[in-house]
Amino acid sequence: MKVLITGATGQLGSSLTQMLKMGTSELGGIPGFLEAAEIEGVDFQELDITDLETVLAYTANSKPDLIINCAAYTNVDGCETYRDDAFKVNALGARNMAIAAEQIEAKLVHISTDYVFAGNGTKPDNEASICHPQSAYGTTKYLGEQYVRDFCSRYFIVRTAWLYSPIGKNFVKTIMRAGRERGALKVVNDQIGNPTNAVDLAYHILKIAATQEYGIYHCTGNGECSWFDFASKIIEYAGIKATVSPCTTEDYPSPAKRPAYSALDNMMLRCTVGDEMRNWQDALRYFMDHYDGE
Domains located in the chain, CATH noted: 2-170+196-223+263-278 (3.40.50.720)
Contacts of 19 (CB under 8 A, 6+ apart): 25, 30, 199, 202, 203, 206
Residue 102 gets which letter from DSSP? H
- Name the nearest CA neighbour of 138 among 79, 50, 216, 201: 79
Strand partners, 108: 67, 155
Has residue 48 got a pLDDT over 70?
yes
Query: For 185, phi and psi rounded to 5 degrees?
Result: -125, 150
Alpha carbons 199 and 13: distance in angstroms, whole number: 10
Cβ contacts of 212 within 8 Å, gap of 6 or more: 154
Query: Which is the catalytic residue, given 58, 73, 115, 137?
Result: 137
Per-residue confidence band for 292, with pLDDT thresholds at 50, 70 and 90: confident
Report pLDDT digits (tens) over 221-263. 999 999 999 999 999 999 999 999 999 999 988 999 999 999 9
pLDDT digits (tens, 9 = 90+) for 53-87: 999 999 999 999 999 999 999 999 999 999 999 99
At 138-152, the pLDDT tens digits run 999 999 999 999 999
Interatomic CA distance for residues 180 and 205, integer angstroms: 34
Residue 137 annotated among the catalytic residues of the structure: yes
The Cα–Cα gap between 67 and 4 comes to 5
pTM over 0.85: yes
- Cβ atoms of 154 and 107 within 8 Å: the answer is yes
Average pLDDT over residues 261-286: 98
* Predicted pLDDT at 294: 58
Q: Are 163 and 202 in contact (CB under 8 A)?
A: no
pLDDT, tens digit, 9 for 90 and up, residues 179-208:
999 999 999 999 999 999 999 999 999 999
| Mean pLDDT, the chain, integer | 97
Distance CA 255, CA 34 (A): 42
